[in-house]
Protein backbone atom coordinates (compact mmCIF):
# COMPACT_ATOMS: atom_id res chain seq x y z
CA UNK A 1 0.00 0.00 0.00
CA UNK A 2 1.19 3.49 -0.78
CA UNK A 3 0.88 5.30 2.56
CA UNK A 4 0.09 8.51 0.69
CA UNK A 5 -3.07 6.87 -0.64
CA UNK A 6 -4.78 7.27 2.72
CA UNK A 7 -5.29 10.92 3.61
CA UNK A 8 -5.83 12.24 7.12
CA UNK A 9 -8.75 10.64 8.98
CA UNK A 10 -11.19 13.47 8.30
CA UNK A 11 -10.49 13.46 4.55
CA UNK A 12 -10.67 9.67 4.51
CA UNK A 13 -14.08 9.77 6.16
CA UNK A 14 -15.32 12.36 3.66
CA UNK A 15 -14.08 10.37 0.68
CA UNK A 16 -15.46 7.14 2.12
CA UNK A 17 -18.87 8.63 2.84
CA UNK A 18 -19.32 10.30 -0.54
CA UNK A 19 -18.52 7.13 -2.44
CA UNK A 20 -20.53 4.94 -0.11
CA UNK A 21 -23.74 6.94 -0.32
CA UNK A 22 -23.45 7.37 -4.09
CA UNK A 23 -23.11 3.60 -4.46
CA UNK A 24 -26.04 2.96 -2.11
CA UNK A 25 -28.34 5.27 -4.05
CA UNK A 26 -27.58 3.28 -7.22
CA UNK A 27 -27.30 -0.26 -5.84
CA UNK A 28 -29.06 -0.41 -2.45
CA UNK A 29 -31.81 -3.01 -2.24
CA UNK A 30 -35.40 -1.85 -2.31
CA UNK A 31 -36.33 -3.35 1.06
CA UNK A 32 -39.85 -2.66 2.33
CA UNK A 33 -38.74 -1.14 5.64
CA UNK A 34 -36.69 1.38 3.67
CA UNK A 35 -39.94 2.75 2.27
CA UNK A 36 -41.32 3.76 5.63
CA UNK A 37 -40.43 6.17 8.43
CA UNK A 38 -43.14 4.80 10.71
CA UNK A 39 -41.32 4.23 14.02
CA UNK A 40 -43.30 1.10 14.92
CA UNK A 41 -42.76 -0.49 11.50
CA UNK A 42 -39.05 0.36 11.63
CA UNK A 43 -38.77 -1.07 15.12
CA UNK A 44 -40.42 -4.36 14.10
CA UNK A 45 -38.01 -4.68 11.17
CA UNK A 46 -34.99 -4.04 13.38
CA UNK A 47 -36.05 -6.60 15.98
CA UNK A 48 -36.78 -9.20 13.29
CA UNK A 49 -33.45 -8.57 11.53
CA UNK A 50 -31.48 -9.42 14.66
CA UNK A 51 -29.94 -12.83 13.97
CA UNK A 52 -32.12 -13.37 10.89
CA UNK A 53 -31.48 -12.87 7.19
CA UNK A 54 -33.32 -10.24 5.17
CA UNK A 55 -34.86 -12.78 2.83
CA UNK A 56 -36.61 -14.56 5.72
CA UNK A 57 -37.71 -11.38 7.44
CA UNK A 58 -39.57 -9.79 4.50
CA UNK A 59 -42.59 -12.09 4.57
CA UNK A 60 -42.82 -12.13 8.35
CA UNK A 61 -42.61 -8.36 8.57
CA UNK A 62 -45.61 -7.87 6.26
CA UNK A 63 -47.69 -10.54 8.01
CA UNK A 64 -46.86 -9.29 11.50
CA UNK A 65 -47.85 -5.72 10.61
CA UNK A 66 -51.06 -6.92 9.00
CA UNK A 67 -51.94 -8.73 12.19
CA UNK A 68 -50.79 -5.94 14.54
CA UNK A 69 -50.96 -2.75 12.45
CA UNK A 70 -50.08 -0.40 15.30
CA UNK A 71 -48.09 -0.53 18.49
CA UNK A 72 -51.25 -0.32 20.64
CA UNK A 73 -52.68 -3.27 18.66
CA UNK A 74 -49.61 -5.28 19.57
CA UNK A 75 -49.77 -4.18 23.20
CA UNK A 76 -53.39 -5.34 23.45
CA UNK A 77 -52.70 -8.77 21.95
CA UNK A 78 -52.52 -11.95 23.97
CA UNK A 79 -48.98 -13.38 24.29
CA UNK A 80 -50.06 -16.55 22.51
CA UNK A 81 -51.12 -14.55 19.42
CA UNK A 82 -47.80 -12.73 19.32
CA UNK A 83 -45.88 -15.95 19.61
CA UNK A 84 -48.04 -17.47 16.89
CA UNK A 85 -47.26 -14.55 14.55
CA UNK A 86 -43.55 -15.07 15.23
CA UNK A 87 -43.62 -18.86 14.81
CA UNK A 88 -40.89 -20.04 12.44
CA UNK A 89 -38.75 -16.92 12.76
CA UNK A 90 -36.89 -18.24 15.78
CA UNK A 91 -35.34 -16.51 18.79
CA UNK A 92 -38.75 -16.10 20.41
CA UNK A 93 -37.27 -14.00 23.15
CA UNK A 94 -37.36 -11.16 20.61
CA UNK A 95 -41.14 -11.48 20.25
CA UNK A 96 -41.63 -11.50 24.01
CA UNK A 97 -39.43 -8.41 24.37
CA UNK A 98 -41.22 -6.63 21.54
CA UNK A 99 -44.56 -7.36 23.17
CA UNK A 100 -43.32 -6.13 26.56
CA UNK A 101 -41.93 -3.04 24.87
CA UNK A 102 -45.29 -2.26 23.25
CA UNK A 103 -47.05 -2.56 26.60
CA UNK A 104 -44.47 -0.32 28.28
CA UNK A 105 -44.82 2.33 25.57
CA UNK A 106 -48.61 2.32 25.89
CA UNK A 107 -48.38 2.59 29.68
CA UNK A 108 -45.49 5.04 30.02
CA UNK A 109 -45.36 6.98 26.74
CA UNK A 110 -49.02 7.33 25.64
CA UNK A 111 -48.47 4.72 22.94
CA UNK A 112 -45.82 6.75 21.10
CA UNK A 113 -42.28 5.41 20.72
CA UNK A 114 -39.84 7.90 22.22
CA UNK A 115 -37.42 9.55 19.79
CA UNK A 116 -34.57 9.97 22.22
CA UNK A 117 -32.11 7.04 21.91
CA UNK A 118 -31.39 7.04 25.65
CA UNK A 119 -35.12 6.66 26.39
CA UNK A 120 -35.45 4.01 23.70
CA UNK A 121 -32.63 2.05 25.31
CA UNK A 122 -34.56 1.80 28.54
CA UNK A 123 -37.26 -0.24 26.75
CA UNK A 124 -37.29 -4.07 26.84
CA UNK A 125 -34.98 -5.69 24.28
CA UNK A 126 -33.52 -2.41 22.99
CA UNK A 127 -29.73 -2.10 23.04
CA UNK A 128 -27.47 0.62 21.79
CA UNK A 129 -27.59 -0.52 18.18
CA UNK A 130 -31.40 -0.83 18.00
CA UNK A 131 -31.90 2.56 19.67
CA UNK A 132 -29.56 4.22 17.15
CA UNK A 133 -31.11 2.39 14.20
CA UNK A 134 -34.70 3.29 15.14
CA UNK A 135 -33.74 6.93 15.80
CA UNK A 136 -31.95 7.12 12.44
CA UNK A 137 -34.35 5.11 10.27
CA UNK A 138 -37.61 6.42 11.70
CA UNK A 139 -36.75 10.01 12.56
CA UNK A 140 -33.64 10.46 10.42
CA UNK A 141 -31.73 11.46 13.52
CA UNK A 142 -27.97 11.94 13.22
CA UNK A 143 -27.27 8.88 15.35
CA UNK A 144 -24.74 6.11 14.69
CA UNK A 145 -25.94 2.51 14.55
CA UNK A 146 -23.16 -0.08 14.76
CA UNK A 147 -24.20 -3.70 14.33
CA UNK A 148 -21.86 -6.55 13.41
CA UNK A 149 -21.92 -5.71 9.69
CA UNK A 150 -21.16 -2.05 10.26
CA UNK A 151 -18.47 -2.85 12.83
CA UNK A 152 -16.74 -5.12 10.34
CA UNK A 153 -16.77 -2.46 7.59
CA UNK A 154 -15.49 0.26 9.90
CA UNK A 155 -12.80 -1.96 11.32
CA UNK A 156 -11.50 -2.94 7.89
CA UNK A 157 -11.78 0.56 6.45
CA UNK A 158 -10.45 2.66 9.34
CA UNK A 159 -8.98 0.47 12.09
CA UNK A 160 -7.65 -2.83 10.71
CA UNK A 161 -5.40 -3.34 13.72
CA UNK A 162 -8.12 -2.58 16.23
CA UNK A 163 -8.04 -4.86 19.29
CA UNK A 164 -11.27 -6.54 20.32
CA UNK A 165 -12.92 -5.54 23.57
CA UNK A 166 -14.51 -2.44 25.02
CA UNK A 167 -11.82 0.03 23.89
CA UNK A 168 -12.08 -1.18 20.29
CA UNK A 169 -15.86 -1.05 20.39
CA UNK A 170 -15.77 2.49 21.71
CA UNK A 171 -13.54 3.59 18.85
CA UNK A 172 -15.86 2.00 16.26
CA UNK A 173 -18.84 3.89 17.69
CA UNK A 174 -16.82 7.11 17.65
CA UNK A 175 -15.89 6.54 14.00
CA UNK A 176 -19.52 5.81 13.12
CA UNK A 177 -20.61 8.98 14.89
CA UNK A 178 -18.01 11.02 13.02
CA UNK A 179 -19.26 9.55 9.72
CA UNK A 180 -22.97 10.25 10.21
CA UNK A 181 -23.94 13.61 8.69
CA UNK A 182 -25.91 16.16 10.70
CA UNK A 183 -28.65 16.41 8.09
CA UNK A 184 -31.44 13.86 8.56
CA UNK A 185 -31.91 12.28 5.11
CA UNK A 186 -28.14 12.04 4.68
CA UNK A 187 -27.77 10.45 8.11
CA UNK A 188 -30.44 7.90 7.17
CA UNK A 189 -28.68 7.14 3.87
CA UNK A 190 -25.23 6.83 5.44
CA UNK A 191 -26.36 4.33 8.06
CA UNK A 192 -28.34 2.31 5.52
CA UNK A 193 -25.38 2.36 3.12
CA UNK A 194 -22.94 1.12 5.75
CA UNK A 195 -25.21 -1.83 6.50
CA UNK A 196 -25.72 -2.55 2.83
CA UNK A 197 -22.00 -2.57 2.12
CA UNK A 198 -21.47 -5.00 5.00
CA UNK A 199 -24.28 -7.23 3.71
CA UNK A 200 -23.36 -7.26 0.01
CA UNK A 201 -19.68 -6.43 -0.56
CA UNK A 202 -17.69 -6.43 2.67
CA UNK A 203 -19.11 -9.59 4.19
CA UNK A 204 -17.82 -11.75 7.02
CA UNK A 205 -16.87 -14.46 4.56
CA UNK A 206 -15.19 -12.29 1.93
CA UNK A 207 -14.30 -8.66 1.29
CA UNK A 208 -14.68 -8.01 -2.44
CA UNK A 209 -12.38 -5.01 -2.47
CA UNK A 210 -11.98 -5.05 -6.24
CA UNK A 211 -15.72 -4.41 -6.60
CA UNK A 212 -16.05 -2.09 -3.63
CA UNK A 213 -17.07 1.54 -4.09
CA UNK A 214 -14.93 2.73 -1.16
CA UNK A 215 -11.81 0.73 -2.00
CA UNK A 216 -9.60 3.79 -2.38
CA UNK A 217 -10.81 5.21 0.95
CA UNK A 218 -10.28 1.96 2.85
CA UNK A 219 -7.05 0.93 4.54
CA UNK A 220 -7.70 -2.79 4.01
CA UNK A 221 -8.89 -2.25 0.44
CA UNK A 222 -5.71 -0.42 -0.48
CA UNK A 223 -3.56 -3.10 1.12
CA UNK A 224 -5.51 -5.95 -0.52
CA UNK A 225 -6.91 -4.69 -3.84
CA UNK A 226 -8.03 -8.19 -4.80
CA UNK A 227 -9.93 -8.55 -1.54
CA UNK A 228 -9.71 -10.88 1.44
CA UNK A 229 -11.46 -14.10 2.31
CA UNK A 230 -12.35 -15.65 5.65
CA UNK A 231 -8.99 -17.37 5.88
CA UNK A 232 -7.28 -14.01 6.29
CA UNK A 233 -10.22 -12.13 7.73
CA UNK A 234 -10.52 -11.55 11.46
CA UNK A 235 -14.29 -11.01 11.59
CA UNK A 236 -17.07 -13.51 11.12
CA UNK A 237 -20.40 -12.05 12.15
CA UNK A 238 -23.12 -11.50 9.56
CA UNK A 239 -26.35 -10.36 11.14
CA UNK A 240 -27.56 -7.36 13.07
CA UNK A 241 -26.42 -8.93 16.29
CA UNK A 242 -24.42 -7.37 19.03
CA UNK A 243 -20.78 -6.54 18.44
S1 LIG B 1 -12.42 -2.07 0.21
FE2 LIG B 1 -12.59 -4.20 0.91
S3 LIG B 1 -12.25 -4.17 3.12
FE4 LIG B 1 -12.66 -2.05 2.44
S5 LIG B 1 -14.85 -1.76 2.78
FE6 LIG B 1 -14.58 -2.42 0.66
S7 LIG B 1 -14.77 -4.67 0.68
FE8 LIG B 1 -14.45 -3.97 2.80
3-state secondary structure 157-181: HHCCCCCCCHHHHHHHHHHHHHHCC
- Ligand 1 pocket mutation, candidates 12, 149, 201, criterion most atoms within 8 A of CB: 201
Task: Check pLDDT > 80 for residue 52.
Answer: yes
Task: Check pLDDT > 50 for residue 233.
Answer: no
Give the global pTM. Answer: 0.92
Q: What's the pLDDT band for 237 if we cut at 50, 70, 90?
A: very low
Residue 20, CA atoms < 13 Å, CB-side half-sphere: 31
Q: Is the dihedral of CA 194, 195, 200, 202 positive or negative?
A: positive
In this prediction, residues 184-209 reach a mean pLDDT of 97
Please give the pLDDT value at position 148: 94
Q: Which residues are catalytic?
A: 46
Cα-Cα end-to-end distance for the chain: 29
Per-residue pLDDT tens over the stretch 148-180: 999 999 999 999 999 888 889 999 999 999 999
Q: Across the chain, what does the average pLDDT equal?
A: 93
Expressed in angstroms and rounded, the spacing between residue 155 Cα and the centre of ligand 1 is 10
Could you give phi then psi for residue 8, rounded to 5 degrees?
A: -65, 160
Per-residue pLDDT tens over the stretch 69-120: 999 999 999 999 999 999 999 999 999 999 999 999 999 999 999 999 999 9
In whole angstroms, how far apart are CA 110 and each of 66, 99, 104?
22, 16, 9
In this prediction, residues 121-137 reach a mean pLDDT of 97
Expressed in angstroms and rounded, the spacing between residue 222 Cα and the centre of ligand 1 is 9
Give the containing element (helix H, strand E) for 228.
strand 228-229
Q: Is residue 150 in contact with ligand 1, taking CB distance under 6 Å? A: no
Give me the domains of the chain, ranges plus CATH numbers.
3-30+143-232 (1.10.1670.10), 38-139 (1.10.340.30)
Q: Is residue 201 in contact with ligand 1, taking CB distance under 6 Å? A: yes
C-alpha span between 85 and 222 (Å, rounded): 46
- From atom 8 of ligand 1, which residue's Cα is the shortest distance away? 202
Q: Is residue 212 in contact with ligand 1, taking CB distance under 6 Å? A: yes
Expressed in angstroms and rounded, the spacing between residue 217 Cα and the centre of ligand 1 is 9
Amino acid sequence: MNPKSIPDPKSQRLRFKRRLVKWFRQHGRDLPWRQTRDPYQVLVSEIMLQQTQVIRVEGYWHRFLKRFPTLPDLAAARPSRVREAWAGLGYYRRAANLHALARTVVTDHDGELPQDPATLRALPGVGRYTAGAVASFAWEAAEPAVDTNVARVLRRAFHPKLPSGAAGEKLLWATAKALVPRRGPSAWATNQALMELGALICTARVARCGACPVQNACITGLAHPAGISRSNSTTRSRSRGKL
